[in-house]
Amino acid sequence: MNFNVGEAVVVGQGNVAIDVAIMLLAVIEELAKTNITAHPLEQLSKTKIKKVWMIGRRGPLQAVFTIAELREMTKLKNCKNFLANK
């Protein structure tokens, strides 16, 4: 994955997709407190990604991540969430 860009797109509406988005947006010091291994933590510490788009082919009601996972994303520092239903 190229971490030298300002934006990333995560395709999917499941728990893995939201986990990837959270990891890309998390403050590295907070991420280091989790069970993440050294190599991905090192790569993520160098990221220039500031904006992550999470897209899916269905509507928000068909998303298969949990409310807890969504809540975790909304609590990230410097993270704004919005829902576009088009």
- What is the per-residue pLDDT for 58? 83
- What is the per-residue pLDDT for 12? 93
- What is the per-residue pLDDT for 86? 61
pLDDT digits 0-9 by tens, 36-64: 999 999 999 999 999 999 888 887 788 88
35-71: burial string, b at 16+ Cβ within 10 Å, e else = eeeeeeeeebeebebeebebeeeeeeeebebeeebee
pLDDT reading at 19 higher than 80:
yes
* Domain ranges (residues) in the chain: 7-75
pTM: predicted TM-score of the whole model, two decimal places: 0.81
Residue with tokens 């609590």: 75
- What is the per-residue pLDDT for 85? 64
Strands 51-55 and 7-11: parallel
